[in-house]
Structure 1
């Protein structure tokens, strides 16, 4: 017999204003270790299970719910949009608008990744990273721009993620291909988080060069970008409920 309650969907109150989301218990518990643990406690018959996430952004949680229901994070209406044609007075203005749209989506997806950490949902984090790879591909290849515009944004990623996380590995791999970009030229090594980034960057670069040499090639070294791999290099282990 299932330990989940099918009589009523669970109510999850999100954010400072307790925005309500209603979702099937078994569905959400299958994709989140946090909710699986929260649903272990029995509830009285005919009572709705209620959980609160007061510090969570409702917009990010809506994106998670959309992914949970449809299996595709891109289906969420809350995702920052990227228009195919920006309306600026000049080509430079139009390009600047499109770049800002990509940055906004990148920042939002980083927030989604942090949410995935909070609710212990590796499948959601994998979906987020897959889309981050696509967004970063546009920024780097089309606009020659590193997704972290400032060292503060880079510091924030390192403050809010765990060592070895998929998001950190993605940022490091992107940085290897963007070392000539201006935003990466003045890294403050006195900052513990930025120093950690630099150490991981050097280690990853060394590993890549070693692998290249061991492959029997010593000519011009070409390091692949994240979007050039056939499969994701940043997966989180997904366990069955």
Structure 2
């Protein structure tokens, strides 16, 4: 069982936002955190163990934490918006968030999270009540291409969408 006594503080962003996370969950899911936790476990005060993720985005990290604990992504947009114009903006926002989450998953070396994000990207390609199908915009594709290695699953997905 996870215990908060075996937790680590993670600072996210330049501000930063602080999150207390169970070390065992991080180790089990992410190769990055597995290595980072080896380093901070050498610190003398377990309660002061901190991992700094200044270059990461808090919105993405919140999605990651939700997935880490619940194995679901809290990002799926509502399908009952009043008009396609509202839906289009929501889909673009969703694609941007998910593509940034995927790039973060790449840096955290968490394959399970990346797979969940790919599934969500596919689901976000909604067909509206008027028959419109929204595809990732240039910004989303750019986020994926700049944040992933050459043979990335997400890059192939962008090509096929």
Same fold, TM-score > 0.5, yes or no: yes
**1:49 aligns to what?**
49
- What is the distance in 2 between the residues matched to 1:167 and 1:54? 24
- 8 Å Cα contact 1:14/1:54 also seen in 2: yes
Structure 1 segments unaligned to the other structure (5+ residues): 87-93, 175-241
Structure 2 segments unaligned to the other structure (5+ residues): none
- What is the distance in 2 between the residues matched to 1:46 and 1:37? 16
The structure 2 residue matched to 1:116, chosen from 90, 98, 105, is 105
Larger Rg: 1
**1:82 aligns to what?**
78
- 8 Å Cα contact 1:82/1:102 also seen in 2: no
The count of corresponding residues between Structure 1 and Structure 2 is: 157
- What is the distance in 2 between the residues matched to 1:126 and 1:145? 21
**1:165 aligns to what?**
152
Distance 1:47 1:96, change over 3 A: closer
Normalised TM-score (structure 2): 0.86
- 8 Å Cα contact 1:32/1:119 also seen in 2: yes
The structure where helix makes up a greater share of residues is 2
Q: Show structure 1 runs of 4+ deviating over 4 A.
A: none
Normalised TM-score (structure 1): 0.59
The structure where strand makes up a greater share of residues is 2
Give CA deviations for 1:200-225 in whole Å, capped at 9, x if unaligned.
xxxxxxxxxxxxxxxxxxxxxxxxxx
- What is the distance in 1 between the residues matched to 2:131 and 2:158? 17
